[in-house]
Structure 1
Amino acid sequence: MSGQKHFVLAAGGTGGHMVPAAALAAELGKRGHHVSLISDARGVRFPGLFDGVQTHVLPAGRLAGGPIGWAKAMKAMFAGRALAIELYKHQKPAAVIGFGGYPALPALLAAFSAGIPTAVHEQNAVLGRVNRLVAGRVDAIATSYANVQRLKDKYRGKAHLVGNPVRAEVLALRSQPYPLLEEDGIFRVLVTGGSQGASILSQVVPDGLSLLPVSFRRRLQVTHQARIEDIDAARTKYAELSIAAELATYLPDMPEQLAWAHLVIARAGASTLAELTVAGRPAILVPLPSATDDHQTVNAREMTAAGGARTIDQRSFTPIELAKQMQRLGLDPAALQNAAGRARSCGRPDAVRDLADLVESLDAPQGDMPIGLNKPVKFGDAAAYA
């Protein structure tokens, strides 16, 4: 594809939507295209993700709260749609790409009205609500998993497996070896609950680590991302247990943290799993039980089945269970390194390249779709995981 084009990316709400959108924005920028972002107030709060990208904050309601909440949400969405239509008259985008979340909906509705090519990217193994709403009207559906639940069979012909884009700094970890782990050396643990944090990790992890054999516990070096309301109690508990730990509410240097981590204890959000599998880091996963359609449990299945992770249901996530899984993984360096390799086998390092190729093809003449993307994925085909 040649010639500068303008692409609008629509995303908002959580880091799970914003991180892959930011990765695509960077890739399209490298290819000489102009990119702008449509989001909401929550979506633009992540520091550094969209530096230098023109951003438009439009109203977008959330379909919740009963009839009154629905009415307010629809009013906001149509106001956002009207503003997006005006915006497109001036920007004339080649395509609009949605990344899920209600802030993407007005931008996509406006694109449908204006006849602009569209695509959505689904980060999870379950098609999200907004992506389900627009699946019948978009031109392409980019997926992160070979098998996506709640994607209707009639729309699978326009689905393309690309993976979930990660930041370039995380992608660079793929070429680095798993950090050396000696039998009596420092054992580095990264604890993260995603962009929102996770109280359950702050409540269980310190006590779980305290149950490890003394010789193992003394080797631990923990970096723990905690919610602001949990951080002081967690810090105190680590200190009482004499476990070396650094705590923060936000980890801006996540790629560096992943680089040295021997084991990650985390939620099973889409971006977290994409980074773990691209970097090749074994994990203990605790899916968020309240996630829509329990999508985090479904997200975790591929990595767990491959042997790169152990998944613990939150109801079973106790200090004793955590200590048990930690010992199984951590007391055998060879087994841990093997788990790292199995995690890496699930990674899709070309996700941002393949997604950018798909996006560039949206306004191309029919038949000009890039090689590798012109044949929709046959979902459930084991070859798609290779």
Structure 2
Amino acid sequence: MTHASSDFARFVSLEEAQAAVRSALPQPATEWVAPEAAFGRRLAQALPAQVAHPSATESSLDGIAAREADTLAAAAGSPVTLQVVGESRAGEPYAGEVNAGECVRIYTGAPLPPGTDAICPVEQLEFASDGGSVRLLTPARPQDVRHFGDDFAPGDELLPAGARLTPARVALAVAGGHDRLPVLRRWRVALLSTGDEVRAPGTALKPGEVYDSNRYGLHGLLLECGAEVLDLGHAPDDVDELAARLSAVGGADLLLTSGGVSMGRYDFMRDLLIERGEVTFWKIRLRPGGPTLLGRWNGLSVLGLPGNPVSSLVVFELLVRPALTGQGLRVTRLRAGAPFGTAGQKTAFWRGELRGSEVVPYPKQSSGVLRSLSDARVLVRVGPGQPVAAGDEVEVLWLD
């Protein structure tokens, strides 16, 4: 299908580009996985507790369980003596009821016997040699009792939909009674780098050639976002070869390419999608990363990233990561320790270094200086025509 230039948007805003990339992805599917397979995944729906935690009123430490009223007079110089009538431990609670003047030896996590309401820690106890009685050097404390359902009760929401399953959250889900977890299916992202000048690492370079750093940087970012990567390797600057490689992609939700989308004579990815595919937008009012292109090839969404390494990785952070993770940009505000200029009518994201509690520009802002993304901690957002002076607050996007 051939498209005239008026058939697609040019010079869209960052917000328009973000919305378009989100819309280009299909509706996420749900799958149920075992807890050990859930780490790093995102919940497809809110997760309610199926049981209470604690499942009984229990002790938070080792000691004795007693009636608080029986122990209030206890002190190091005038201990209170109680009769020990049994013990309660996790998995084997005390079966009887504790009366006035009595106590039960108890261990962390063990249920409190009926009749008791407080715990005295073992460090404040002196047991008789036969174990039949104990002297308390301090009063028993109700604060050391964990009550039934203190953490959560059946029906309480443990985690919201969309929550990323960290180890602590997986542990919480299991404690709440779940042996299978509903998670979003991993996005399947195909990755293709292009360019006649691009070479695989480990080969000798001729003048003007570069190693395929974009492919490896983007691969790592995709894994960081929890995506399944279909690595298509590298393709030369040839329209027919690119068409064949795109047509061979199967089972992907998105094809991510780097290179070939700018204004040059040999930017064949741009030509291929404009002349024989579909284009949603070409160019963003953004620096770095302006030549980015979004389109479709035989029904597959294709996001063409610029070939300059900084541009490629920055656009990923701004467009791809939010779309794949369902999360907004990781932003905060810091004070500028030096001026940040504008990029005309474009939104600029300058690499920034931290100096104490302030942020200053990285010395080299060229989109070909890949070292800047390795050294910088943040990207500093500067709006169109809105230069930042030293001392101003700026919005920053964290890179680590």
- TM-score with structure 2 length normalisation? 0.27
Structure (1 or 2) with the larger CA radius of gyration? 2
Please identify which structure carries the higher strand content. Answer: 2
- TM-score with structure 1 length normalisation? 0.28
Please identify which structure carries the higher helix content. Answer: 1
